Amino acid sequence: MEISTDKVAREAIEAISERIKNLKTLNIIVAGKTGVGKSTLINAVFREKLAETGMGKPVTEHMRKLTKKDVPLAIYDTRGFELGKDVQAQVKQEVLDTINEGLATKDINQTIHCIWYCINTASNRVEPEEIEWIRELTKEKQVTKVPIIIVLTQSFSKKNADALRKMLLEENLNVLQVIPVLAEDYDIDDEYTAKAFGLDVLIKVMGESLPDELMDTLQNVQIVSLAEKRKRARAAIATATTLAITEATIPIPVADAAALVPTQIAMIASITAIFGFEVNKSVITALLSSTIGSSGATILGRTVVAEVAKLLPGAGTIAGTAISATTAGVITTALGEAYLGILSLVFSGEMVLDDLSTKKGKSKMKELFQNALKKPLKDEN
């Protein structure tokens, strides 16, 4: 069975846009006094600089909803905490109303999934009203359904952050975690710069509290933890590999490598959604041609098996056109690993997306693919 890489690439691009279109929307309320660093935090954690586009859309007197086209995320930026007790009470009511309205829709795209309450470590004090506010808020039964994370912003002094964290933990508030962060590097003086930290912890902790339906969304929108993206992508590779092995076990006439293409397309779509990159057809074509489509412009089932057989130590026994279950699994894993590896390099800035369809990108993908082909069998020995 012969399929052109061009056709597969086109189908992959369609699958990717479908996958991204179907991501559920993650909704977060970010609360705290003006100046604590909410906008800086939001822009550092999520792609597309969500807090930079003007003011967002007002949803209540003290709350604005920040969204951006093609980003499955809504941030409710809450202000007014610095304006005294009366306004704080109003804000609390607005938060409760927003949560209730979301719950009433019974639609995951409309419900509030997490609240970040931001306190500025650098200000060196928490007002008792703020603690009281959190305490009251977490007593409301609507809110008990929404996890709250206290984010200690501008924690360039880790010593102060630790002290504040300890103090807050002793208050026994009903919150998920108290997490010190520094969203952007901070110049302490001419000689010393405190490096940004903690944002990956924030993503990890929030991720543990979110429903499974929002896991791909979270990875799609966050830009601070490569480890979390890789973990999620590895799960997609494992799923596809298991499916490929099952498919290769079914005795159908076309049980060659080409029969695995739909499964592999779904895997590529998942990994792309997790990274949140705008991947075009030339990238996918390059990926295919430097891995499973190694012989020219076609993905030829038997050729892939033969090529892989050359690379797999002790795999010379693969007979006929039927692809063995092991080979199906190995090829699928290796393709996933090659794609994951190259996107990881883009994430960490060692390559740019445009590199991927060049000679440099292709030879890197080929190397990643071949390394991955050898690895699973080695591990079994």
Interface residues toward Mg ion, by CB under 5 A: 38-39
Shortest Cβ distance from residue 38 to Mg ion (Å)?
5
Shortest Cβ distance from residue 121 to Mg ion (Å)?
17
Indicate whether 154 belongs to the interface with ligand GDP (CB under 6 A). yes
Shortest Cβ distance from residue 196 to ligand GDP (Å)?
7
Taking CB within 5 to 8 Å according to partner kind, which of ligand GDP, Mg ion, none is near residue 327?
none
Nearest residue (beta carbon) to ligand GDP? 37
Residue 83 or 311 with smaller CB distance to ligand GDP: 83
The residues that bridge with 75 in the sheet, in sequence order, are: 28, 66
Shortest Cβ distance from residue 120 to ligand GDP (Å)?
8
Dist. CA 311–CA 308, nearest whole Å:
5
Site string for ligand GDP, 295-334 (x = CB under 6 A): ----------------------------------------
Shortest Cβ distance from residue 140 to ligand GDP (Å)?
24
Contacting range for ligand GDP; rule: CB under 6 A; set: 85-93, 176-184, 229-237, 258-266: 176-184
Dist. CA 135–CA 129, nearest whole Å:
10
Place of tokens 């969203």: 183
Size of the site for ligand GDP (CB under 6 A): 13
Give 132-195 as a 3 state SS string: HHHHHHHHCCCHHHCCEEEEEECCCCHHHHHHHHHHHHHCCCCCCEEEECECCCEECCCCCEEC
Torsion of CA 231, 234, 240, 244, to 10 degrees: -150
Handedness of CA 187, 29, 234, 71 (dihedral sign): negative
Dist. CA 297–CA 26, nearest whole Å:
40
Dist. CA 153–CA 90, nearest whole Å:
24
Site string for ligand GDP, 180-209 (x = CB under 6 A): --xxx-x-----------------------
Q: What share of residues in the chain are helix, strand, coil (percent, to 5)?
A: 55, 15, 30
Shortest Cβ distance from residue 202 to ligand GDP (Å)?
12
Nearest residue (beta carbon) to Mg ion? 39
Q: Which residues contact 87 (CB under 8 A, 6 or more apart)?
A: 62, 80, 81
Shortest Cβ distance from residue 184 to ligand GDP (Å)?
4
Residue 48 or 367 with smaller CB distance to Mg ion: 48
Distance (Å) of CA 196 to CA 52, 210, 224, 347: 19, 25, 10, 17
Taking CB within 5 to 8 Å according to partner kind, which of Mg ion, ligand GDP, none is near residue 280?
none
Residue 155 or 289 with smaller CB distance to ligand GDP: 155
Contacting range for ligand GDP; rule: CB under 6 A; set: 97-105, 178-186, 256-264, 366-374: 178-186
Burial class (CB in 10 A: 0-12, 13-18, 19+), 101: middle
Rule CB under 6 A: which of 11-70 touch ligand GDP? 34-40
Residues of this chain that interact with ligand GDP (CB under 6 A) are 34-40, 153-154, 182-184, 186
